[in-house]
Structure 1
Amino acid sequence: MRSSFALLTALPAAVRALSLNAYDLGLYGVYPTQNFVTLGQPTPWAQISQWDPRCDKDGGLILLSPRGVNVPNPGPVILDPRGNLVWSEGKFGQAMNLQVQRYKGEDFLTFWSGTSGGPHSNGSYYMLDSSYEVAHTVNSVDIDMGGDLHEFEITNNGTALFTIYQDKQVDCSDVGHDGLCWIDDCLFQEVDIATGKLLFQWRASDHVPLSHSYKLRHKDGLTKKTAWDFFHINSVQKDDLGNYLISSRHMRAIYYLDSKGNILWSLGGKHSDFTDLSEGNASNFKWQHHARWRGNNTMSFYDNHAKNVFHPLSEFSRGMLVQFDFENMTVKLLQTYKHPDNVLSISQGSMQVIPETGNVMIGWGNTPAYTEFTADGEVLCNTHFGAPLFFMILDFGWVKSYRTFKSHWVGKPKTPPTIKIFAGQIFASWNGATEVAKWRLESAKSLKATNDDFAIVEEIKKDGFEGVFMRNSWERRFVRVAALDRAGEVLGYTDVVDSTFEEYIPISLFQILVSLCFILVVGFFAWTYREMLKKQSSRIFALRRQQKNTQQYELLNSRENVDDAV
Structure 2
Amino acid sequence: MFSFFLASFLFISGATAKKHPFQFEDDDYIQYRTLPDHRIVKWNITHYDRSAIAPGYLFTAPYWTHDGDAETDQWVPYQMGPHIFDQDGVLVWAGSAESDNRPSFDFRVIDLATPGSPGSEPQQALAWMLFHEHFAPETNGSVIIFDSNYNHERTISIPSGEIDTHDFNVIDNGSKALMIRVSRDVQPLIDFGQPEKGARIDVNGFIEIDLLAGGNTTAEARTVDWQSPGRVGLDESFVTNLTYLHPDFMHANAIDKNQYGDYLLSARHTSTIYLISGQDGHIIWRLGGKKNNFAKDFDFFGQHDARFIAVNETHYVISFLQNGAIDANVQEPVSSALYVELDIVAMKATILRRYMRPDGGSTERRGNMQTLPNTNVFVGWSWDSYISEFSADGRLLMEAKFSSDRHDTYRSYKFPWVGRPSYPPTLLSESYGVNGSELSTVFHVSWNGATDIEYWRFFAQANSTSNRTEIGIVQKEGFETSFIARGFMDWVSVEALDSSMEVLGASSSLRTPRPKYWTGETLPKPDDPETFLVAYSIKAAAPRDTERLVGIFIAGLFSSAVVWTFFWYRHTLKRYGLRCYSNAVLASAGYLPVSTTGLNSPNLEGEMPFLVEKVE
TM band (smaller chain): 0.7 to 0.9
Change (3 A) 1:501 1:131: farther
Matches within 5 A, 1:218-367: 218-220=242-244, 226-259=245-278, 260-276=280-296, 279-280=297-298, 284-295=299-310, 297-309=316-328, 311-355=329-373, 357-367=374-384
Instruction: Give the structure 1 partner of residue 206 of structure 2.
Output: 188
Instruction: Give the structure 1 partner of residue 63 of structure 2.
Output: 67
Instruction: Give the structure 2 partner of residue 549 of structure 1.
Output: none
Q: Say which of 404, 411, 414 aligns to 1:403.
A: 411
Q: Residue 376 of structure 1: CA displacement?
A: 1.4
Instruction: Give the structure 2 partner of residue 78 of structure 1.
Output: 84
Matches within 5 A, 1:510-521: none
Which blocks of at least 5 consecutive residues in structure 1 are unaligned?
Answer: 1-26, 221-225, 391-397, 505-566
Measured against aligned partners, the alpha-carbon deviations of 1:463-500 in whole angstroms (never above 9, x if no partner) come to 210111023216x5322111001111111112223345
Instruction: Give the structure 2 partner of residue 473 of structure 1.
Output: 487
Q: Say which of 380, 393, 396 aligns to 1:376.
A: 393
Instruction: Give the structure 2 partner of residue 54 of structure 1.
Output: 51
Matched residue of 2:55: which SS? coil
Q: Residue 89 of structure 1: CA displacement?
A: 1.4
Change (3 A) 1:501 1:145: farther
Q: Residue 421 of structure 1: CA displacement?
A: 2.6
Distance 2:192 2:51 in 1: 52
What letter corresponds to residue 154 of structure 1 in structure 2?
V
Q: Which deviates the most, 344-353 or 189-198?
A: 189-198
Change (3 A) 1:341 1:191: same
Matched residue of 2:361: which SS? coil
Change (3 A) 1:354 1:116: farther
Q: Say which of 464, 474, 495 aligns to 2:508.
A: 495
What letter corresponds to residue 486 of structure 2 in structure 1?
N
Instruction: Give the structure 1 partner of residue 539 of structure 2.
Output: none
Matched residue of 2:326: which SS? coil
Matched residue of 1:447: which SS? coil
Q: Residue 292 of structure 1: CA displacement?
A: 0.6
Q: Residue 345 of structure 1: CA displacement?
A: 1.3
What letter corresponds to residue 383 of structure 2 in structure 1?
N
What letter corresponds to residue 490 of structure 1 in structure 2?
V
Larger-gyration structure (1/2) = 2
Matches within 5 A, 1:502-541: none
Distance 2:412 2:153 in 1: 23
Distance 1:253 1:427 in 2: 52
Q: Does 1:414 align with 2:422?
A: yes
Measured against aligned partners, the alpha-carbon deviations of 1:521-551 in whole angstroms (never above 9, x if no partner) come to xxxxxxxxxxxxxxxxxxxxxxxxxxxxxxx
Distance 2:59 2:340 in 1: 25
Q: Quick check: 2:384–2:402 contact (8 Å CA) kept in 1?
A: no
Count the aligned residue pairs. 449
Matched residue of 1:434: which SS? coil
Matched residue of 1:54: which SS? helix
Matched residue of 1:211: which SS? helix
Matched residue of 1:83: which SS? coil
Q: Quick check: 1:386–1:399 contact (8 Å CA) kept in 2?
A: no
Q: Does 1:88 align with 2:97?
A: no
What letter corresponds to residue 265 of structure 2 in structure 1?
I
Q: Residue 501 of structure 1: CA displacement?
A: 4.2
Q: Quick check: 2:179–2:206 contact (8 Å CA) kept in 1?
A: yes
Measured against aligned partners, the alpha-carbon deviations of 1:219-245 in whole angstroms (never above 9, x if no partner) come to 13xxxxx11100000000111111111
Matches within 5 A, 1:24-39: 32-39=28-35
What letter corresponds to residue 59 of structure 2 in structure 1?
L
Q: Quick check: 2:52–2:391 contact (8 Å CA) kept in 1?
A: no
Instruction: Give the structure 2 partner of residue 561 of structure 1.
Output: none
Q: Quick check: 2:387–2:412 contact (8 Å CA) kept in 1?
A: yes
Q: Say which of 430, 454, 461 aligns to 1:437.
A: 454
Matched residue of 1:205: which SS? coil
Change (3 A) 1:292 1:367: same
What letter corresponds to residue 368 of structure 2 in structure 1?
S
Matches within 5 A, 1:547-558: none
Distance 1:457 1:151 in 2: 49
Distance 1:369 1:29 in 2: 21
Instruction: Give the structure 1 partner of residue 598 of structure 2.
Output: none
Distance 1:384 1:214 in 2: 31
Change (3 A) 1:55 1:431: farther
Q: Which has the higher contact order (CA 8 A, sep 6+)?
A: 1
Q: Quick check: 2:367–2:382 contact (8 Å CA) kept in 1?
A: yes
Instruction: Give the structure 1 partner of residue 536 of structure 2.
Output: none
Change (3 A) 1:329 1:458: same
Matched residue of 1:145: which SS? helix
Distance 2:356 2:515 in 1: 49
Instruction: Give the structure 1 partner of residue 239 of structure 2.
Output: 215
Distance 2:304 2:25 in 1: 29
Q: What root-mean-square deviation, in Å, do the aligned CA atoms of Structure 1 and Structure 2 show?
A: 2.5
Q: Quick check: 1:368–1:384 contact (8 Å CA) kept in 2?
A: yes
Change (3 A) 1:501 1:302: farther
Q: Say which of 191, 203, 206 aligns to 2:227.
A: 203
What letter corresponds to residue 358 of structure 2 in structure 1?
P
Distance 1:479 1:338 in 2: 53
Distance 2:26 2:188 in 1: 44
Distance 2:27 2:389 in 1: 21
Distance 1:187 1:501 in 2: 62
Distance 2:51 2:24 in 1: 30
Which blocks of at least 5 consecutive residues in structure 2 are unaligned?
Answer: 1-22, 114-121, 433-440, 518-616
Matched residue of 1:131: which SS? coil
What letter corresponds to residue 67 of structure 1 in structure 2?
Y
Distance 2:310 2:498 in 1: 37
Change (3 A) 1:289 1:427: same
Q: Quick check: 1:31–1:385 contact (8 Å CA) kept in 2?
A: no
Matched residue of 1:348: which SS? coil
What letter corresponds to residue 44 of structure 2 in structure 1?
Q
Matched residue of 2:191: which SS? helix
Distance 2:162 2:485 in 1: 52
Measured against aligned partners, the alpha-carbon deviations of 1:408-467 in whole angstroms (never above 9, x if no partner) come to 111111110001135763110000111111111122212344xxx222222222221011
Matched residue of 2:492: which SS? strand
Change (3 A) 1:122 1:327: same
Q: Does 1:98 align with 2:107?
A: yes
Instruction: Please give the TM-score of this superposition, normalised by the length of structure 1.
Output: 0.75
What letter corresponds to residue 266 of structure 2 in structure 1?
S
Q: Which deviates the most, 494-503 or 161-170?
A: 494-503
Measured against aligned partners, the alpha-carbon deviations of 1:305-362 in whole angstroms (never above 9, x if no partner) come to 11224x432221111111122221111111112232112111110100011x111111
Q: Quick check: 1:139–1:146 contact (8 Å CA) kept in 2?
A: no
Instruction: Give the structure 1 partner of residue 476 of structure 2.
Output: 462
Q: Quick check: 1:436–1:485 contact (8 Å CA) kept in 2?
A: yes
Distance 1:331 1:385 in 2: 36
What letter corresponds to residue 185 of structure 1 in structure 2?
V
Instruction: Give the structure 2 partner of residue 535 of structure 1.
Output: none
Q: Does 1:145 align with 2:169?
A: no
Distance 1:230 1:299 in 2: 24
Matched residue of 1:214: which SS? coil
Distance 1:29 1:187 in 2: 43
Change (3 A) 1:503 1:236: farther
Instruction: Please give the TM-score of this superposition, normalised by the length of structure 2.
Output: 0.69
Q: Quick check: 2:293–2:347 contact (8 Å CA) kept in 1?
A: yes
